């Protein structure tokens, strides 16, 4: 119950390549018809939709719901981690193979986090900075995936969305954005069981999208200053 917060630096050795390969364009996920896809996720899987349509505007003015969600007792324990190599950036461009939606780069990963006795929910909050830049042949994007699971089980999607997207330019421009991901999870609802687990794994995964070919003109696609907090 009174364990001290822990600081974990995710390992980068399993994903980083030493240098950029001249065959990078063959390893990069290429968009359909030069279009970045819409990412549609359920709790346990994500699909890419390349036929994005405009949604109709809501009818009238929708008022915010002022009622808070009371999901658990007051916070009993909080864990906090920094991203791999913090505060240095990690380049997605040099990774081989390239991270994908089904195998993202574990920018922040914590294994076997103990769930305090009596906790029923977990509140997750993560953020990271993205640096993007590519030539005029297409667009570039970085996607973040905030996930939790019963330790060793199936990942549960807490929040999945684009962290940053840019249009190509010539010469490439180095542009920055900061993205935030959060969510509240009923621990008993995690895949693989019906009770609150003793241990959970959490991660902030990332992967790139580049439209059109060649993709070898991607000058920057890095993630920096990442952090992840879990409160039980």
The CATH number of whichever domain residue 159 belongs to comes to 2.60.120
For 188-197, what is the mean pLDDT?
A: 96
Three-state SS for 55-89 is CCCCCCCCCCCCCCCCCCCCCCCEEEEECCCCCCC
Summary mean pLDDT of the chain:
83
Domain-embedded: residue 69: no
Question: Is residue 154 scored above 50 in pLDDT?
Answer: yes
Domain-embedded: residue 60: no
For the whole model, what pTM was predicted?
0.80
Higher pLDDT, 184 or 61: 184
Domain-embedded: residue 226: yes
Question: Is residue 182 scored above 70 in pLDDT?
Answer: yes
Cis, bond preceding 97 (omega within 30 deg of 0): yes
Domain-embedded: residue 102: yes
For 69-76, what is the mean pLDDT?
A: 67
For 85-111, what is the mean pLDDT?
A: 94
Asked whether 68 and 215 are in contact (CB, 8 A), the reply is no
Containing structural domain, residue 192: 80-231
Higher pLDDT, 216 or 190: 190
Specify the number of domains making up the chain. 1
Q: Please report the pLDDT score of residue 106 as a whole number.
A: 97
């Amino acid at each position: 119950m009174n364990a001290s917060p822990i600081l974990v630096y995710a390992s980068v050795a399993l994903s980083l390549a030493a240098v950029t390969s001249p065959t990078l364009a063959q390893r990069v996920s290429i968009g359909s018809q030069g279009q970045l896809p819409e990412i549609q996720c359920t709790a346990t899987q994500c699909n890419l939709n390349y036929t994005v349509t405009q949604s109709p505007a809501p009818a009238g003015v929708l008022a915010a719901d002022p009622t808070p969600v009371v999901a658990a007792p007051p916070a009993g324990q909080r864990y906090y981690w920094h991203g791999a190599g913090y505060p240095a950036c990690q380049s997605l461009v040099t990774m081989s193979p390239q991270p994908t939606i089904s195998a993202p780069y574990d920018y922040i990963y914590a294994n076997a986090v103990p769930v305090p006795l009596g906790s029923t929910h977990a509140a997750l909050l993560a953020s990271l900075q993205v640096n993007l830049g590519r030539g005029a042949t297409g667009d570039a994007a970085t996607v973040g995936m905030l996930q939790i699971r019963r330790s060793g089980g199936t990942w549960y999607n807490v929040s999945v969305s684009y962290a940053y997207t840019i249009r190509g330019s010539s010469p490439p421009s180095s542009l920055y954005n900061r993205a935030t991901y959060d969510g509240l999870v009923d621990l008993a609802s995690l895949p693989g069981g019906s009770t609150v687990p003793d241990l959970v794994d959490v991660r902030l995964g990332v992967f790139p999208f580049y439209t059109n070919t060649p993709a070898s003109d991607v000058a920057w696609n890095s993630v920096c200053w990442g952090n992840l907090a879990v409160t039980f």
